[in-house]
Amino acid sequence: MRLSGHGLRCVRGGREVFAGLEFAAASGQAVAVTGRNGSGKTSLLRLIAGLLVPAAGTIALDGGDAELTVPEQCHYLGHRDALKPALSVAENLVFWADFLGGERSDAAESLAKVGLDHATHLPAGFLSAGQRRRLSLARLLTVRRPVWLLDEPTNALDVAGQDMFGSLMREHLAAGGLIVAATHAPLGIESRELRIGGVA
Amino acid sequence: MTALSALIRRDIRIALRVGGGALIGVLFFLTVVVLMPFAVGPDLALLSRLGPAILWLGALLASLLTLDRLFMADHEDGSLDLITMSRTPLELACAAKALAHWLAAGLPLIVATPVLGLLLNLDMVATGAVALTLLAGTPALTFTGMIGAALAVTLHRGGLLMAVLVLPLSIPVLIFGVAASQAVIVGPMTFGAPFSILCALSLVSLVVGPFAAAASLRHGLD
């Protein structure tokens, strides 16, 4: 499987964010997107996720499921965590598993992996920022998608959480997945760097 | 199907929990109708003549009250991004969300109607007619209001403003809803004609609403 973008140009609010951007990642590879604030890291992830329309260029996923579009084969972990404060931890996770569909693994197991198994019945509104991030990570584990698009994934995670996340990413890559992550901090796994807009 | 029923169940669950919107609509409906006799005065004949119109106005405003948040909440917490990316067509997801909103916020209004009919001196038959027209007409309000809710997300402007902008779409519903109820109470029209048009309005909006809302959400991707 190979995710690639050619000649990507992104315009937001009438301003060109980047142009002529090329990238490629194969199964088992991670790409760390770096660049100063406002250079278009998040925009690139949202282009791949189909949440922004490129002004020029194409994005292709070779070797994926031909029946599905690229966004349908991606997980997007953005700044906003898509959790409902009124629902419990388990309800939030099970909803996304049911809604996103496809191949899935046990929700309780995923919660144990991210260290939230003691809080399954707690409303998500009571979680700390780090716990919310962990719950979002549990979504990536429960629903299987080959491509992970991660925007500042280690934000709010403590040191143990970052280690845990590193091993989850290594597992995903070993299983043939691929990762595109926008990040300032080191990702914690072996990755290729894609720098947008000059020196950070 | 699993995806859509999961979405409907989640939205209903959120609406019914503390801080959800389901009760707000009913309370508003209750307030409007309870206050009306005090404003109009103790003229029972006048009250029963105005009754259907008051109930319909109350139900219309109550269903608009919570509708502007239909997509806004999902937009703010990032859920809408994931819904857009998912394997479920956005049109179906929109329809499911509107259906959930109607079940949680629209249906309670209809259940409350018989109680409120007493306050407006409506007899059993008249109250039944109003409840029946509300049952047939409120889906149209929800599904056309959904277009305004989607526009509110896309244009990053105040939700209520956009709801007001789609208000003209709900005027035909109001006209034929009240006309059908009045036909039962005072005549001389038949009940069937305005009621059929009301049902037609609902069916059209069931089809057009999700497509318009999904198109608006897609257009406004950012």
- Give me the interface pTM, i.e. the ipTM: 0.89
Which residue in the set B18, B20, B87 is minimally distant from A101, CB to CB?
B87
Total structural domains within chain B: 1
User: A200 lies in a domain?
Assistant: no
CA atoms B71, B73, B78, B83: torsion sign: negative
Structural domain span for residue A85: 2-195
- pLDDT tens per residue, range B114-170: 988 888 888 888 898 999 999 999 999 999 989 888 888 877 666 567 667 778 888
Nearest residue of A to residue B82, measured between CA atoms:
A76
**Cα–Cα distance, A129 to A87 (Å, whole number):** 16
- pLDDT tens per residue, range A115-133: 888 888 899 889 999 899 9
Answer yes or no: are the C-beta atoms of A130 and A118 closer than 8 Å.
no
Answer yes or no: are the C-beta atoms of A180 and A24 closer than 8 Å.
no
Query: Can you tell me which residue has the tokens 């917490």?
Result: B77
Which residue in the set A52, A80, A87 is minimally distant from B78, CB to CB?
A80
Chain B contacts of A78, Cβ < 8 Å? 78, 81
Total structural domains within chain A: 1
User: A93 lies in a domain?
Assistant: yes
Chain A contacts of B84, Cβ < 8 Å? 50-51, 71
Residue B64 has pLDDT above 60, yes or no: yes
Chain A contacts of B18, Cβ < 8 Å? 86
The amino acid at residue B146 is M
C-alpha distances in Å from residue A19, one per residue of A7, A110, B19: 7, 39, 45
Structural domain span for residue B145: 2-219
Chain B contacts of A82, Cβ < 8 Å? 77-79, 81-82
For residue A109, give how far its alpha carbon lies from the nearest alpha carbon of chain B (Å).
20
Answer yes or no: are the C-beta atoms of A124 and A89 closer than 8 Å.
yes
For residue B18, give how far its alpha carbon lies from the nearest alpha carbon of chain A (Å).
8
- pLDDT tens per residue, range A67-101: 888 888 999 998 888 898 889 999 999 999 999 88
State whether residue B49 sits within 8 Å of chain A by CB. no
Nearest residue of B to residue A97, measured between CA atoms:
B3
Considering only CA atoms, which of A153, A183, A185 is closest in space to residue A169? Answer: A153
- pLDDT tens per residue, range B7-39: 999 999 988 887 677 788 889 999 999 998 888
Does pTM surpass 0.95? no
For residue A187, give how far its alpha carbon lies from the nearest alpha carbon of chain B (Å).
23
Query: Can you tell me which residue has the tokens 């890291």?
Result: A41
User: A120 lies in a domain?
Assistant: yes
A interface with B, Cβ–Cβ < 8 A, is 12, 49-53, 68, 71-72, 74, 76, 78-84, 86-87, 91, 95-96, 98-102
Residues 6+ apart with CB under 8 A from B168: none
User: A57 lies in a domain?
Assistant: yes
Q: Is the CB of A12 less than 8 angstroms away from the CB of B222?
A: yes
* Residue A120: CATH number of its domain: 3.40.50.300
